[in-house]
Amino acid sequence: MATSEYLRNRDSSKRTQAPVLQLPAATRHTVIGPATVASVVMMANDVLMILLAFGVALLLRMLAVTKVAPAAGAGLYYWVTPVDLFYVGWFVLAYVLVSRRYGLYAPVPTGTGAHELRLVLQACLNAGLLLCGALYMFHAVAISRILVMLAVITACITLVVRRAIWRYSRYRQYEQGIDLRNLVILGTNQLSFALSRHIRDYRRLGYRFVGFVTAPGSSVSAEITSDQILGGADKIRQVARQHFVDELVIAEFYPTDAAIRLVQDARELDIDVRAISGYYSELTTNAPVEYLGIFPVAPLHRREPRVIGLYCKRVVDTVLSFLALIVTAPLMLALAIAVKLESPGPVFYISDRIGKRGRVFPCFKFRTMVDNAEKLKKDLTDLNERDGVLFKVSNDPRVTRLGRILRKYSLDELPQFLNVLRGEMSIVGPRPPIASEVEKYELEHFRRLEVLPGLTGLWQVQARHDPSFARYIALDTAYVENWSFWLDLRILFQTANVVVRGTGT
């Protein structure tokens, strides 16, 4: 059973440089992928709901005219004309723009459910007013006013119902520890402690409280324990890397020039920064007031998520992994029988691996070694051909004859398509390390854990036989920092060539 957390054992001198690594307790994942794609998904769903509402409005209008006043409807048309589609598109565009202005597509939770539903109704009615204004300006007398009224009313209903269902599903995920954002509070005063308690007690906010960062010269509230303090503000880079921080909230006044430098660091670290309202009025003049539960906050920095690319990546992962599992099912059945017949032991080798943001998940592979391979590993330490934390031995005596064939053509990794389908891995990404490797990581090595691990990656196609751990980390870091959807496609094509040539070991 996968353990959900472990500690990096360091001596006291090293602890002053970097806090203890704690892996989040959540080990479950959503199939839909990272939270950064939520805005695109919500926008697309809203468009579909408006189109559905338009269809329902057409149907209601037809029924109303034919049932209530059939004679009046004799000269009316019931089909959709290009003019109708133009004004529907105008309404859709107006609603999306207004909703975006209200923050309804923000990946960060805003306000309560009732507040969000009020904003949805307000955005829909505003879009309806803009539609009526367009009809008046263009003298569109041929457009049925009854149809417009029914379309706006049904759109309000469908959009509110859809948003309520979405929020309820998100609440269920948050309560189960899925897709929570890691949050750190800068400050150790009473307000900071109250904010941390509110975040811990109100899970529906969608946050996991990680700890406090102390401001220079500030006192520590008696309610805050020493193990909750991750370090000083000057160690924000170490804290952000080791704890996979998504957001930093300033809950104690921090000098303005220092706050600006903090925002610059946050831009490089790709984390959000918000501050309790009133601290930096000169920096947040035009910024809207947001609420973190009951606490009013103002945004100082918002990262720019690569929404479209990440969404496409998840779609490709889901489709390809599903097709791969279907197509290779007969082959995997034959391999499972062969593995079972060749040597005693289980068919699959299930190993606890460290995934995105330190989450632990079970990684599936066909067993290619003898059943007691882990116990024999310590006897082969002197034969290790890799440096750093990697371990590799040519002609490893633990590998079975069938296992060598499976490794040569990477067939032992076929079951990992199930990990991809479950959302624990991606087809392209850094290889998932084991816990003992992560315990030996230096600070810069944690960069590779900021994305989903993959079946293949830059290291596998460019330096698979390179024994250098530095080269291994450099390639994975380069992938994380330069990721794009097209880079994934290029790696996939190179992987196909590697597999066909059988360069695996």
What are the Cα distances from residue 398, in Å, to 298, 352, 363, 392, 432? 58, 20, 20, 12, 21
- List, for residues 465-501, the tens digit of each pLDDT value: 666 777 777 888 888 878 877 888 888 888 877 776 6
Q: What is the pLDDT of residue 147?
A: 79
Q: What is the pLDDT of residue 505?
A: 54
- List, for residues 189-233, the tens digit of each pLDDT value: 999 999 999 998 888 888 889 999 988 878 888 888 888 888 888
Q: What is the pLDDT of residue 332?
A: 92
The mean pLDDT value for 9-14 works out to: 38
- For the cut 60, the answer to whether the pLDDT of residue 2 exceeds it is no
- For the cut 80, the answer to whether the pLDDT of residue 241 exceeds it is yes
Q: What is the pLDDT of residue 11?
A: 37
Look up residue 23 and give its amino acid.
Answer: L
Q: What is the pLDDT of residue 472?
A: 77
The mean pLDDT value for 387-397 works out to: 60
DSSP assignment, residue 79? Answer: S
Q: Which residue has the tokens 């939770």?
A: 109
Neighbouring-strand partners of residue 183: 209, 247
The least confident of 31-45, 104-118, 389-403 is 31-45
The mean pLDDT value for 50-63 works out to: 83
What kind of architecture, by CATH, is found in domain 180-303? 3-Layer(aba) Sandwich (3.40)
Counting residues of the chain whose pLDDT is more than 70, the rounded percentage is 78
- For the cut 50, the answer to whether the pLDDT of residue 504 exceeds it is yes
The mean pLDDT value for 417-442 works out to: 87
- For the cut 90, the answer to whether the pLDDT of residue 334 exceeds it is yes
- List, for residues 88-103, the tens digit of each pLDDT value: 888 888 888 888 888 7
Counting residues of the chain whose pLDDT is more than 90, the rounded percentage is 12
Q: What is the pLDDT of residue 107?
A: 58
Across the chain, what does the average pLDDT equal?
78
The mean pLDDT value for 277-300 works out to: 80
Which of the residue ranges 273-277, 406-410, 443-447 has the most confident prediction, judged by mean pLDDT?
A: 273-277
Instruction: Sketch the domain layout of the chain as residue ranges.
Output: 35-175, 180-303, 308-501
- For the cut 60, the answer to whether the pLDDT of residue 25 exceeds it is no
Q: What is the pLDDT of residue 115?
A: 78
The mean pLDDT value for 390-396 works out to: 61
Q: What is the pLDDT of residue 377?
A: 63
Dihedral of the alpha carbons of 144, 149, 150, 153, in degrees to the nearest 10: 160
User: Rounded to a whole number, what is the largest CA-CA distance in the chain?
Assistant: 95
The mean pLDDT value for 55-65 works out to: 77
Q: What is the pLDDT of residue 343?
A: 83
- For the cut 50, the answer to whether the pLDDT of residue 10 exceeds it is no
Q: What is the pLDDT of residue 75?
A: 47
Look up the pTM and report it: 0.64
Q: What is the pLDDT of residue 327?
A: 93
What are the Cα distances from residue 69, in Å, to 59, 74, 186? 15, 9, 67
Q: What is the pLDDT of residue 69?
A: 52
CB under 8 Å, gap of 24 or more: what pairs does 275-284 form? 275/249, 275/250, 275/251, 275/300, 276/191, 276/249, 276/250, 276/251, 279/250, 279/253, 279/254, 280/256, 282/256, 283/256, 283/259
